[in-house]
Chain A
C-alpha cells in the first residue's frame, strides 16, 4: 500500500474539482428537457425536495467516507468501504465504485469527443454550411457512425475520440494537484463565464418570454404523477455525480481535519447554478423561441443529444454572431465533459496506486490501455447498442445501486452517531440535527424507493431486452449478427470485467495481508481512544 498520498492544494481547489465532476452535459441538456417534459416550473418542487433529502445528504456521506478512507491511505471504494465497515465483504461491494465509473468512462469520452468534433466543424465552416442547407442532423449522424473523414480516410469521430482520450489521460497523469485541481480551477470559471455570455444573449432575444413560459410556467397536475417524482430524483442523482465513486476518491485526497460539510454543500450549490440558472435558461427557451411552441413535442422527443447536437447549432446559427455562439456552445460542453470524465476514471487510478502500490506511470498505462480497448468497442459498437448497454449498467444501474448501498452502510453499519461526528469534524458550518434523522431514515428509504421504482418502470424492460425482436440484425466490425447475440456477448464481457475487478481486489488484499491486519487494529485502537 502506498502511504505517501497527494493532497489537494486548497479547499477551493477540491470544491471546483468536485463541481467540475458534477457539471457536465446533463446540466445543460438533460435538466431542461426533463423540466420541460415533466411540468415546467412544477418540476422544480420534486427536484428541490430530492436535492435536499437525497442529493445533499448522499454527497455528505461520500465526502465523509472519502476523507475517512483517505486518512487510512485508501482512495477508492474497495479500500474506503473496507476501513469504514471493517467486514471482509465490504471491499467486494466497493468493486461497484470502480466498475461503474469505468463503464461510464468507456462511452463518455466518445460523446465528449463529438463536442470537440463539432467545435472543429465550426472552425472549418462545415457547421455553418450544414445550418444553411438544413443538414445538421445528417452531419451529426454521419459523424457518430464514422462515415465522415478527416486527413484522407481517417474517420473524423475516431480522430477526435483519440485526441479527447489522450487529453483526459494527460490531465490524469499530472496527478491530483497539477492535473485535476489545475484543470478544475481553469475550466470551472471558464464554464461559468461562457455560460453567462450565452445566458445574457438568450435573455436579450426578442420574444424570450414565450420560451421561458414553456420552461417555467408550472403545471401542478403533473405533481400527482409518481413518474415526475422519479424523474426529478433521477436528475438530482445524475447531476450531483453521487453514487459513482468519484466523490469518494476526490474526498480521500483532502486533509484529515479539513471541512467536508461546507465543501460538499458548495460543490452542490455550484452545480445547481450551472444546471438551473444556466441550463434552465439557455437551451429549451431558445429552441421554443426560434422553432415555435407548435414544435414542442418534436423538440422534447429529440432528447439530450438531439437537442445538443442538432437543435442548438441551428438555434445559434439563426442568431447574430452565429459561428461564435456555436463555438462557445461546443467548447463549453467539451470543457464540462473533460472535468467530468477525469473524475470518473480517477477511482480506478487511485485503486491501482493505493491498493496495488503502482506508480502513476504504470497506473495510467494499464488503466489507459483497458479503457482504450473498451472505449473502441463502444465506438465501433454504437449502432449495435454497446453504448446504450454501458450507459444502462454503468451510468444508471451501478450508480443508483451503489448510492443506495453507501447510504445504508453509512447510517446503519458504520453507525449514524459515528458518521455524524465524522461529518462534523472540522466543519465550517453548523448542520441542523434534522439532517441526522434525514441521513438515517429518509435518504436510505428514498433511495430504495427510487431504485425499485426505476427497475419496475424502466430497468426490467431493458434488462430483458423486451424492445428488441429476435430477428433484428446488427453489424459489428463488419460482422453481421443478431442484435440480441451482440448484446448478450457484450454483457458477458462486462460481467468478466466485473469479475476481473473483484479478482484484483482479492489479490491486492492477499498481497498486503499483514498491512491490512495492522491497519484494522489501528482503526480499532483509534475507535477505543475516541
Chain B
C-alpha cells in the first residue's frame, strides 16, 4: 500500500465525507424547518412517586 494518500484514497475519503455531510444536512434541515413541532407540552413536575 502506498505511503501517501493516493487519488483513489482521496476520492474514497471525499465521497464518504460528502455523502455523510449531505445526509446530515438533508435530515437536520427538515427537522429544523418544522419548528412548530418542537415543544409538545410543559415540563412535568419532578415527582418520582407518580
Q: Which residues of A line the B interface, CB within 8 A? A: 4, 6-12, 15, 40-42, 44, 48, 173-175, 177-178, 209-210, 212-219, 255, 258, 262-263, 265-266, 269-270, 272-273, 276-277, 280, 293, 359-361, 428-429
A216/B10 in contact, CB under 8 A: yes
Partner of A209, one of B5, B41, B44: B5
User: Can you offer 18 A-B residue contacts whose CB atoms are under 8 A?
Assistant: A7-B40, A11-B31, A11-B37, A40-B12, A48-B16, A178-B43, A213-B5, A214-B1, A217-B1, A217-B2, A219-B1, A262-B30, A263-B31, A269-B23, A269-B24, A269-B26, A360-B48, A361-B48
Residues of A within 8 A of B48 (CB): 173, 359-361
Give A359's nearest chain B residue, CB to CB. B49
Residues of B within 8 A of A178 (CB): 43, 46
B9/A40 in contact, CB under 8 A: yes
Query: Considering the chains assembled together, what is the distance between the CA atoms of A8 and B12 in angstroms?
Result: 38
Partner of A216, one of B13, B30, B46: B13
Residues of A within 8 A of B39 (CB): 9-10
Summed over the interface, the residue pairs from A and B with CB atoms below 8 Å come to a total of 117
Residues of A within 8 A of B50 (CB): 4, 359
Residues of A within 8 A of B20 (CB): 269, 272-273, 276-277
Partner of B27, one of A42, A214, A217, A265: A265
Q: Which residues of B line the A interface, CB within 8 A? A: 1-6, 8-10, 12-13, 16-17, 19-21, 23-24, 26-28, 30-32, 34, 37-41, 43-44, 46, 48-50
Residues of B within 8 A of A360 (CB): 48
Query: Considering the chains assembled together, what is the distance between the CA atoms of A174 and B28 in angstroms?
Result: 27
- Contacts known (A269-B20, A272-B20); A216 close to B9, Cβ less than 8 A: yes
Residues of A within 8 A of B2 (CB): 213, 217
Query: Considering the chains assembled together, what is the distance between the CA atoms of A175 and B20 in angstroms?
Result: 32
B23/A272 in contact, CB under 8 A: yes
Give A182's nearest chain B residue, CB to CB. B43
Residues of B within 8 A of A266 (CB): 24, 27-28, 31
A44/B16 in contact, CB under 8 A: yes
CB distance from B34 to the nearest CB of A (A): 7
Residues of B within 8 A of A6 (CB): 44
A12/B44 in contact, CB under 8 A: no
Query: Considering the chains assembled together, what is the distance between the CA atoms of A219 and B40 in angstroms?
Result: 50
Query: Considering the chains assembled together, what is the distance between the CA atoms of A190 and B4 in angstroms?
Result: 33
Residues of B within 8 A of A41 (CB): 8-9, 12-13, 16
B24/A270 in contact, CB under 8 A: yes
B31/A218 in contact, CB under 8 A: no
Query: Considering the chains assembled together, what is the distance between the CA atoms of A383 and B14 in angstroms?
Result: 43
Given A175-B46, A218-B8, A219-B1, output 17 extra A-B contacts at Cβ < 8 Å: A6-B44, A7-B40, A9-B43, A12-B32, A41-B13, A41-B16, A42-B12, A44-B16, A48-B16, A216-B10, A217-B8, A218-B9, A262-B31, A269-B24, A269-B27, A272-B20, A280-B16
Query: Considering the chains assembled together, what is the distance between the CA atoms of A11 and B34 in angstroms?
Result: 9
Give A288's nearest chain B residue, CB to CB. B3
- Contacts known (A177-B43, A210-B4); A273 close to B30, Cβ less than 8 A: no
B40/A8 in contact, CB under 8 A: yes
A217/B5 in contact, CB under 8 A: yes
Residues of A within 8 A of B41 (CB): 7
- Contacts known (A12-B38, A265-B27); A174 close to B46, Cβ less than 8 A: yes
Partner of A40, one of B1, B26, B31: B1
CB distance from A332 to the nearest CB of B (A): 19
CB distance from B16 to the nearest CB of A (A): 5
Give A15's nearest chain B residue, CB to CB. B31
Query: Considering the chains assembled together, what is the distance between the CA atoms of A360 and B28 in angstroms?
Result: 33
Residues of B within 8 A of A359 (CB): 48-50
Partner of A276, one of B8, B16, B26, B40: B16
CB distance from B46 to the nearest CB of A (A): 6
Residues of B within 8 A of A44 (CB): 12, 16
Residues of B within 8 A of A7 (CB): 40-41
B31/A213 in contact, CB under 8 A: no
A11/B9 in contact, CB under 8 A: no
CB distance from A235 to the nearest CB of B (A): 14
Residues of A within 8 A of B26 (CB): 269
Residues of A within 8 A of B9 (CB): 40-41, 212-213, 216-218
Chain A to chain B: the 6 pairs with minimum beta-carbon distance, closest first:
A41-B12, A217-B9, A266-B27, A216-B9, A213-B5, A269-B23
